[in-house]
Structure 1
Amino acid sequence: MSLSPIDLQIMWNRLVAVVEEQAQALLRTAFSPIVRECGDLSAGVFDRHGRMLAQAVTGTPGHVNSMAESVKYFIEAFPLETMKEGDAYITNDPWKGTGHLNDFVVTTPAFHNGELVGLFSCTSHLTDIGGIGFGPDGTDVHMEGIYLPFLKIVDQGRVNRDIVAICKANTRLPVEVEGDIYSLVGCNDVGARRLSAMMGEFGLANLDELAEHILGQSRKAVLAELAKLPKGSFDYAMTIDGYDEPLELVARTTIGEDGVTVDFDGTSPMVRRGINVPLSYTTAYSCFGLMCAIAPGVPNNAGSLGVFEVTAPEGALLNAPYPAAVSSRHVIGQMLPDVVFGCLRQAIPERCPAEGTSCLWNMTFRGPSGRGNNGQYGFAFTMTSNGGTGARPSRDGLSATAYPSGVKGTPVEIVEAQTPLVFWRKEYREGSGGAGRFRGGHGQAIEVEHGEGLPFELLAAMDRIQFPPRGVLGGKNGAAGALTTSSGRTLRGKGFQIVEGGERLTVLTPGGGGYGDPAERDPALAASDAENGLSAG
C-alpha cells in the first residue's frame, strides 16, 4: 500500500521514540558509571542496507555518527541471509566501530512476522578493557586493551559465554564488563520488539517506503539549507597541546551546491602515543559540527549525513591507520567542530560560536583501597568533567558543559560511593570564561584526594593547557586548563602519573572564548556576573 505523508511522518516520529526507548534501556541497565550516570552511549535503527534511519536523542555524536557506518561492516561480516532471529554481533574494532577499544558495538537483526526488516545497533563505553588502561600512553592499539573482531555474541538466543569469559579475563572490572555486554544486547532486543509492535500497529510488512521517505526528506532539507549559504572554500587552523609537542589541526571546508566537503590536508602527522584519531571518528565530529551550523533542525540519519564528505591524508593525525594507538582519540576528535566552525565563520558568522574547551576532561583514577582484603582490593574509575563552551553570537557560552560530546559530568557522590576518593571541591572556576560582548562559559575547579591517605594513579587525557580556547571578533581567550597538587607539583595534561598519599589533586578545566568586543557587553549581564562571582577573565 502507498502511505500518505502524514502516515509517514507519524511513523518516523514513532521510530525516533523506539530508538530512544532502546537508549534508555541501555542507560538504565549499564554497569559502567560513565554510561549509567553520564550517557556515554549511542543507539540507532538501520534498514537492511545498513543505512541509519533514526538515532536516539540520548547519546554522543562520536558514537552515533561513527556507528552509522559500522553497521555496514557487520553486514559484510554476517550477510543478511545468514542472520537468524535472536542473533547478536559484537566488535570493538576502532576503525570499523567508534574509534577506540573501550567502545563495544553490538548489532542485532530485527524481525517482523519472521522476516528480517532492519537492524538495531548500540554502543557504550566500558571503563576498563585491560591493557595499560584508558589513557594515551600506549604506542600501538594492542597495548590499549582487548581487541574483538566481528563476532557472534548471541546465536538464536544463546549467549556465547566463551566470548564473555575472554572479555572478563582481560579487564580489572570483570563484573562490570559482563554486565555492560548484557546491557548492550538487551537494549537492542527492546528496540527490535518495539519495532515489530509498531509495524504491526501500522500494518507494515517492511520498512522500505518509510526508509526512502526519511532519507530522501532529510537529504532534501539539508540541501535546501545549503542553497541559502555563500559558496566557496574557507580555511582554518588550530594549535593544540599534543602529547610531546604541539600539533596543528588544519582544515579547508568547501560549500557547494550539492554538498559540503571538509579536507584536513596539512594537519600534523600521526604520533606515537594514543591520541591519534581513526577517520571514522574524524568524520563523526566533523559532520556534527556541519549539522549544528548548517542544518540544526534536520534529523540526523544517513540521508542528512550523506550531504557531507570528510577527508584526511592517510597517516595524518586525523586518519591514523591500524595499528596506531587511539585510546584517547576523543581529546583531539572533539576539537573538530571548533575547527569546522572556524571555517564556516567566514561564511556564516552569525551561526558559529567562539572556541570552547571542546574535549572532555576525563580523569581515570586507579589505586589501592583499604576496604577489605587487607588493602588488596583496588579500584578503577573514569570520571568525566568538562569546561566552558565558547560564547555564541547572541548569548554567553555555557559553563561546565560538555560540548560537542554531550556527556554529562560524573556526580561526585557516585565517585565517592564506588571508590575511596574524597572530593573537597567541585565548583565553577571564577573568571575562566573569556571576556566579550558575550562571555565564554566558565570551567570548573575540582579538588580530590585518596580518603585513606594512599597514593593513586591518574591516567590524564586533557588538552587546552598550553593553547586555551580562542575568542573571536575581539573576544578574549578562555582560561587555560591546569593540573596541580597540594605539594606544589604541576602535572602533565596527558599520561600516567602518581598522586602521592596525602596529596590533593586540583583540576582546573578551561573556560570558553569570548565573542565580540568586551566594551560592548550589556551592563546588566556584567552586573549579574559580578553578583554571582562569575565575571569574565
Structure 2
Amino acid sequence: MVTDMNFLDMQIMWNRLIAVTGEQAKTLIRTAFSTIVRECEDISAGVFDLRGRMIAQAVTGTPGHINSMAESVKHFIARFPLDTMKEGDAYITNDPWMGTGHLNDFVITTPAFHKGRLVALFSCTSHLMDVGGMGVSTEADDVHMEGLYIPILKLIDRGQVDEVLMEIIKANSRLPVETEGDVYSLVACNETGARALSKMMDEFELESIDALADFVLTRSEDAVRKSIAALPKGSWSYGMVTDGYDDPIELAAQLTVSDNGIHVDFAGTSQSIRKGINVPLSYTTAYSVFGLGCVVAPDVPNNAGSLLPFTISAPAGTILNAIKPAPVASRHVIGQMLPDVVFGCLRQALPDRVPAEGASALWNVTVRGRHKTDAAEEKPFALSITMNGGTGARPTKDGLSATAFPSGVHGTQVEIAEIQAPIVVWKKELRIGSGGNGRMRGGDGQVVEMSGRDGTAFDLLASFDRVVYPARGAQGGDDGAAGAIRLKSGKPIRAKGVTRIDADDRLILLTPGGGGLGDATH
C-alpha cells in the first residue's frame, strides 16, 4: 500500500516524467529538417519501462504516431533483447506494421542507462519528407514501390553510427541532406530524454523507475476503468462511407461496453485495395483508441495503462487491417476517419458527450519537383503543406474552423511554405458557411489558391477525402460542405493521384466543413 508521502512523491515524479518527455520532444522539433516536424510538430516522443510499456508521452504529438509507437517498442525488444543493449546504442525502423503505419515515419528507440544500468527506453517518431519511391501518394501497387523499407536494425552501436546503413538511407532519398539531418534529430531527441531521466533519478535518489512505472500505469488504468464502469453497458453500431479511390469505401464498427472494457470490432468494413490508402492495424488501433479516450476518459494521461481497457479488432485483409505488402503511404486518409466512426457508436449511448462528424483526414498538399537555383542548376524539392477543414459541432460549442482534428498537427504557415519550396500561396482564407447548420454549427473549412513560382511546375501528390461524401450532421444538424479541388485553367483534377500543375496554372482547394449538431430551430 502506498503511504500518503509515497503517493505525493510518486505524483511529483510522474509530472516530472512528463516534463522529461516534453524536453525530449522539444529537441526533436528544434533540430528537425522536415518542415512538417519543425513547424507542424508531426512527431511523437515517450519513455518506456523495460517491459516495453509506455509510461509517459510528450503532450506534443499526433495520436497516429504516439499510440502506434506505444506498441512498437515491444518489437524492438523482441529483436534486440535487453541483455544485449549497451550504452550508446540506438535502433531504427520504418516498418509500417511495426511502426506508425507508413514508410515516411522513422521510429528510433534508445536504451537509457543510469549509473551503468539499463533503466528505461526512449522512443520517438517523426515524418521525413522523402524516403524515395513514389512517396506519400496513393499510386503505388505495394509497399515496396512507396519507398525505402527499413526493418528493425541497429543504427548506432556503442556510439558508432552504422555508416553503411546511413549511406543507404541517404542514397534512397531525393533530399539526402535533409533526410540524414532528420535521422540525427531523432537520435538527439532520445539522448536528451535519457540524460534528463538520469538527472531526475539522481535528484530523487532512484536506482530504478520500475515502481514509478507500476504506479503510473496502475493509477491510469484504474481511472479509465472507473469511467467505463459508469457507462451504460451494451453494443452499438455505426457506419461511414468515404470517397475511396475508384469506388467508395465502407467503414463499419460495432462498439461494445462491458465490465471488461470497451471493444471496437470493424467487421463488415471494405476489403483492402491496390492503392495506397490501406491502413495497418497498428494505425487503426491508434486512432480508434484515441477516439475512445477523448469521450470516455479525456482527463487521464495517455500511457500503456490508460490504453489497456480499450481493444480493437478488424478482419485481416480489410482496409483497416491491410496485410503486408499492401500499399499504405496515405493511410491517414482512412485512418483519421476512425475517431468519427467511434464517436458515431458512442453518440447512441452518450448523446450529450459526442461531437458530429468533421473533416477528419488531413488535407496535406504534398508537392514535389525541381527548380533552378541562382547557379542555374536544378535542385529537387519536396514539401507537405498541412491544412484541414472544420471539426464537427460539439455538444455545447460550435466546431473549430480550419483545425486538424484528430491529427493535432499545426497548419503550415504560408511564409514557411514559400521559403521551403518555389511556390506562391495567393489566397488562404476561411470558407465561410461551409460548416453545417444546427443548434451548434460545424467548423468552417478554408479556401487556398497556390501556384509555382518563377515558371516552376510541380507534381501534386493528392490524397484528399470528403469530396464526395461530406461530414454528416447529427441529431438534426446539417451536413458540412463537401471539399473540392480544381485548377484555375478548368482542367479536370482527381482528389487522389498524381497531377502535374503547370507553371501558368493555379491549384484551388476548398477544404470540407464539419457537420452541425442538433436542430437549429430548437
- Relative to the length of structure 2, the TM-score reads 0.98
Q: Distance in 2 between matches of 1:498 and 1:482?
A: 17
Q: Is the 8 A contact 1:475 1:516 kept in 2?
A: yes
SS of alignment partner, residue 83 of structure 2 = helix
SS of alignment partner, residue 348 of structure 2 = coil
How many residues align structurally? Answer: 520
How has the CA–CA distance of structure 1 residues 131 and 470 changed in structure 2, closer, same or farther, with 3 Å as cutoff? same
SS of alignment partner, residue 195 of structure 1 = helix
Q: Give the alignment of 1:330-369 within 5 angstroms.
A: 330-369=332-371
Q: Give the alignment of 1:309-458 within 5 angstroms.
A: 309-374=311-376, 376-458=378-460
1:35 aligned partner, one-letter code: V
Shift of 1:373: 4.7
SS of alignment partner, residue 519 of structure 1 = coil
Is 1:8 paired with 2:6? no
Q: Distance in 2 between matches of 1:198 and 1:379?
A: 42
Tell me which residue corresponds to 1:106.
108
Q: Is the 8 A contact 1:483 1:490 kept in 2?
A: no
Is 1:96 paired with 2:98? yes
Structure 1 residue runs of 5 or longer lacking an equivalent are 521-537
Q: Distance in 1 between matches of 2:461 and 2:74?
A: 34
Tell me which residue corresponds to 1:285.
287
- What does the per-residue CA deviation read over 1:122-148, in whole Å, with 9 as the maximum and x for residues that have no partner? 000001100012111101000000000
Is 1:86 paired with 2:88? yes
Matched residues, percent identical?
A: 62
2:448 aligned partner, one-letter code: I
Q: Is the 8 A contact 2:453 2:503 kept in 1?
A: no
Tell me which residue corresponds to 2:469.
467
Is 1:36 paired with 2:38? yes
SS of alignment partner, residue 476 of structure 2 = coil
SS of alignment partner, residue 521 of structure 2 = helix
Tell me which residue corresponds to 2:27.
25
- What does the per-residue CA deviation read over 1:239-263, in whole Å, with 9 as the maximum and x for residues that have no partner? 0000111010000000011200000
Tell me which residue corresponds to 1:252.
254
Q: Is the 8 A contact 1:92 1:149 kept in 2?
A: yes
Q: Is the 8 A contact 2:362 2:386 kept in 1?
A: yes
Q: Distance in 1 between matches of 2:304 and 2:477?
A: 37
Tell me which residue corresponds to 1:177.
179
SS of alignment partner, residue 467 of structure 1 = coil
1:16 aligned partner, one-letter code: I
Q: Which segment is superposed worse, 110-119 or 377-386?
A: 377-386
Tell me which residue corresponds to 2:275.
273
Tell me which residue corresponds to 1:150.
152
Q: Give the alignment of 1:146-225 within 5 angstroms.
A: 146-225=148-227
Q: Is the 8 A contact 2:175 2:380 kept in 1?
A: no
SS of alignment partner, residue 349 of structure 2 = coil
2:213 aligned partner, one-letter code: A
Q: Distance in 2 between matches of 1:415 and 1:375?
A: 21
Q: Distance in 2 between matches of 1:134 and 1:268?
A: 22
Tell me which residue corresponds to 2:495.
493
- What does the per-residue CA deviation read over 1:276-333, in whole Å, with 9 as the maximum and x for residues that have no partner? 0000000000000000010000011111101010000000000001100000001100
Shift of 1:489: 2.6
- What does the per-residue CA deviation read over 1:467-499, in whole Å, with 9 as the maximum and x for residues that have no partner? 000000111110100111111134211111111
1:423 aligned partner, one-letter code: V
Q: Is the 8 A contact 1:385 1:409 kept in 2?
A: yes
Q: Is the 8 A contact 1:468 1:510 kept in 2?
A: yes
CA RMSD of aligned residues (A): 1.1
- What does the per-residue CA deviation read over 1:144-172, in whole Å, with 9 as the maximum and x for residues that have no partner? 00000111111111111211111110011
Q: Is the 8 A contact 1:368 1:375 kept in 2?
A: no
Q: Is the 8 A contact 1:61 1:405 kept in 2?
A: yes
Q: Distance in 1 between matches of 2:420 and 2:315?
A: 43
1:179 aligned partner, one-letter code: G
Q: Distance in 2 between matches of 1:362 and 1:78?
A: 36
SS of alignment partner, residue 271 of structure 1 = coil
Tell me which residue corresponds to 1:516.
518
SS of alignment partner, residue 413 of structure 1 = helix
2:200 aligned partner, one-letter code: M
- Relative to the length of structure 1, the TM-score reads 0.96
Shift of 1:368: 2.6
Q: Is the 8 A contact 1:358 1:404 kept in 2?
A: yes
- What does the per-residue CA deviation read over 1:345-378, in whole Å, with 9 as the maximum and x for residues that have no partner? 0001111100000000011111231323535223
Tell me which residue corresponds to 2:128.
126
Tell me which residue corresponds to 2:55.
53
Q: Is the 8 A contact 1:370 1:452 kept in 2?
A: no
Q: Distance in 2 between matches of 1:367 and 1:125?
A: 19
Q: Distance in 2 between matches of 1:235 and 1:266?
A: 11
Q: Distance in 2 between matches of 1:487 and 1:92?
A: 39
- What does the per-residue CA deviation read over 1:4-57, in whole Å, with 9 as the maximum and x for residues that have no partner? 100000000000000011001100000000000000000000000000000100
Shift of 1:519: 2.0
Q: Distance in 2 between matches of 1:375 and 1:187?
A: 35
2:84 aligned partner, one-letter code: T
Structure 2 residue runs of 5 or longer lacking an equivalent are none
Q: Distance in 1 between matches of 2:98 and 2:383?
A: 26
Q: Distance in 1 between matches of 2:293 and 2:135?
A: 33
Q: Distance in 2 between matches of 1:455 and 1:38?
A: 25
2:390 aligned partner, one-letter code: G
Tell me which residue corresponds to 1:526.
none
Q: Which segment is superposed worse, 76-85 or 361-370?
A: 361-370
SS of alignment partner, residue 428 of structure 2 = strand
